[in-house]
């Protein structure tokens, strides 16, 4: 009985492994792709040392039935290259950089190289040649070096995800020049320096900005107060000073995380809140003052953590009940769900 069960589990996991390696072709195919694109793809294939994940890329002269590419049937140009690993051993043959030949696919609108644990090295400067690129997703790899400011030349980009890599150095201030950009993920890297003041000038509204888990220091630029962030995550950096500018009742913010900067310090008493707020995390800072009574009116607040700050006074009544761990370790917060009674005078 036990043996049977074990073999069923074994077969099931083999099937899962097999089906997860064979992904679907990513979009409508061409009978025959443009020869320039075919040549570029073969160069990429060879630079990657003909990895198992691209086993469908038979050198057949026409790219037909190749996985991970999307070819526009009317122009026969390759418009998307989307390679997504599953972290299974053997997808890639060992550490490889992003091939420079990718810049020889000038019609790309989408480039994805993600979850490829053997993809390493810096972003090639030739990436800046892909001027039609709208979406760049290079998350969960082992990419290193600086984020090149030349990315700002790709004026059609609306979404950039470089998160979960080992990028270091400063955030290029020019990224805010991307007038279509609405989604910027630079979190979980080793970026240092300040958040650029220019990040108060993103053109698209609302904007999604993720900078958490880096080494960013200095003040939260006051200019960020001008931007309507739908989501903003600045947690786990070394930011200091006033993050109050990120709040505001005219905004559509649903998620705001400034937790674990340790030195963010501002008066919380008169903060106003987005009506859309669902999640607010500001634990481990030096935020002081009272919790505004109006917080109880935020209809959809599902997650709240103000623990480990310097807050004082009565905890407002919330529609959604929060347990004491959301409020512990403040200067003198009182009332339920904390055990401390408020002494009214």
Ligand X SMILES: *[C@@H]1O[C@H](CO)[C@@H](O)[C@H](O)[C@H]1NC(C)=O
Whether the Cβ atoms of residue 305 and residue 280 lie closer than 8 Å to each other: yes
| 288: nearest Cα among 243, 331, 342, 340 | 331
Residue 126 binds to ligand X (criterion: CB under 6 A): yes
Tokens 């953590």 sit on residue: 305
**148: which residues sit within 8 A by CB, 6+ positions away?**
123, 125, 127, 128, 172
| 109: nearest Cα among 130, 128, 126 | 130
Whether the Cβ atoms of residue 117 and residue 89 lie closer than 8 Å to each other: no
Nearer to ligand X, 274 or 305 (CB): 305
Residue 302 in tokens: 């599902």
Whether the Cβ atoms of residue 317 and residue 291 lie closer than 8 Å to each other: no
Residue 159 binds to ligand X (criterion: CB under 6 A): no
Nearer to ligand X, 8 or 317 (CB): 317
Residue 142 binds to ligand X (criterion: CB under 6 A): no
Query: What binding mask, one character per residue, do residues 46-65 give for ligand X by CB under 6 A, x or -?
Result: --------------xxx-x-
Residue 197 binds to ligand X (criterion: CB under 6 A): no
Residue 305 binds to ligand X (criterion: CB under 6 A): yes
Terminal CA-to-CA distance of the chain, rounded, Å? 71
Residue 6 binds to ligand X (criterion: CB under 6 A): no
Site residues for ligand X, 29-48, by CB under 6 A, read 31-32
CB of 72 to ligand X, least distance (A): 15
Q: Tell me which of 91, 161, 233, 257 binds ligand X, using CB under 6 A.
A: 91
CB of 102 to ligand X, least distance (A): 10
Q: Tell me which of 23, 117, 252, 276 binds ligand X, using CB under 6 A.
A: 117
Nearer to ligand X, 275 or 329 (CB): 329
Q: What is the DSSP string of 197-251?
A: GGGGG-SSSSEEEE--SSEEEEEPPGGGGGS-EEEEE--SSEEEE--GGG--TT-
CB of 43 to ligand X, least distance (A): 12
| 217: nearest Cα among 193, 190, 191 | 193
Residue 66 binds to ligand X (criterion: CB under 6 A): no
CB of 146 to ligand X, least distance (A): 12
Measured CA to CA, the distance from residue 85 to residue 140 in angstroms comes to 9
Query: Among 39-47, 88-96, 216-224, 264-272, which window interacts with ligand X (CB under 6 A)?
Result: 88-96
CB of 8 to ligand X, least distance (A): 27
| 324: nearest Cα among 304, 294, 343, 310 | 304
* Size, binding site for ligand X by CB under 6 A: 35
Residue 283 binds to ligand X (criterion: CB under 6 A): yes
Which residues lie near ligand X (CB under 6 A)? 31-32, 60-62, 64, 85, 87, 89-92, 94, 103, 117-118, 125-126, 128-129, 152, 166, 168, 174, 177, 190, 192, 215, 283, 305, 307-308, 325-326, 341
């Amino acid at each position: 009985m036990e043996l049977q069960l074990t073999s069923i589990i074994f077969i099931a996991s083999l099937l899962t492994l097999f089906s997860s390696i064979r992904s679907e072709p990513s979009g409508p195919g061409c009978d025959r792709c443009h020869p320039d694109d075919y040549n570029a793809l073969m160069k990429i294939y060879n630079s990657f040392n003909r990895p198992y994940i691209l086993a469908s890329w038979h050198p057949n002269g026409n790219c037909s039935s190749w996985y991970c590419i999307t070819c526009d049937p009317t122009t026969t140009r390759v418009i998307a290259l989307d390679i997504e690993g599953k972290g299974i051993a053997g997808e890639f043959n060992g550490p490889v950089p992003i091939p420079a030949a990718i810049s020889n696919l000038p019609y790309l609108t989408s480039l994805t190289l993600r979850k490829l644990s053997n993809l390493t090295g810096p972003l090639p400067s030739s990436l800046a040649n892909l001027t039609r690129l709208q979406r760049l997703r290079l998350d969960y790899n082992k990419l290193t070096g600086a984020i090149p400011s030349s990315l700002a030349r790709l004026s059609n980009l609306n979404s950039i995800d470089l998160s979960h890599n080992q990028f270091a150095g400063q955030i290029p201030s020019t990224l805010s020049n991307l007038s279509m950009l609405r989604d910027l993920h630079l979190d979980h890297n080793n970026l240092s320096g300040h958040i650029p003041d220019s990040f108060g000038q993103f053109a698209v509204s609302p904007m999604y900005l993720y900078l958490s888990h880096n080494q960013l220091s200095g003040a939260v630029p006051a200019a960020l107060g001008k931007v309507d962030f739908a989501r903003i995550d600045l947690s786990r950096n070394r930011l200091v000073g006033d993050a109050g500018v990120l709040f505001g009742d005219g905004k559509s913010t649903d998620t705001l995380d400034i937790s674990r900067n340790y030195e963010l310090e501002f008066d919380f008493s008169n903060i106003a809140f987005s009506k859309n707020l669902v999640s607010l995390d500001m634990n481990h800072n030096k935020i002081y003052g009272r919790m505004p009574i109006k917080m109880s009116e935020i209809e959809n607040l599902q997650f709240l953590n103000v623990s480990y700050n310097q807050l004082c006074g009565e905890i407002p009544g919330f529609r959604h009940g929060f347990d004491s761990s959301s409020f512990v370790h403040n200067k003198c917060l009182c009332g339920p769900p904390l055990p401390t009674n408020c002494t009214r005078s």
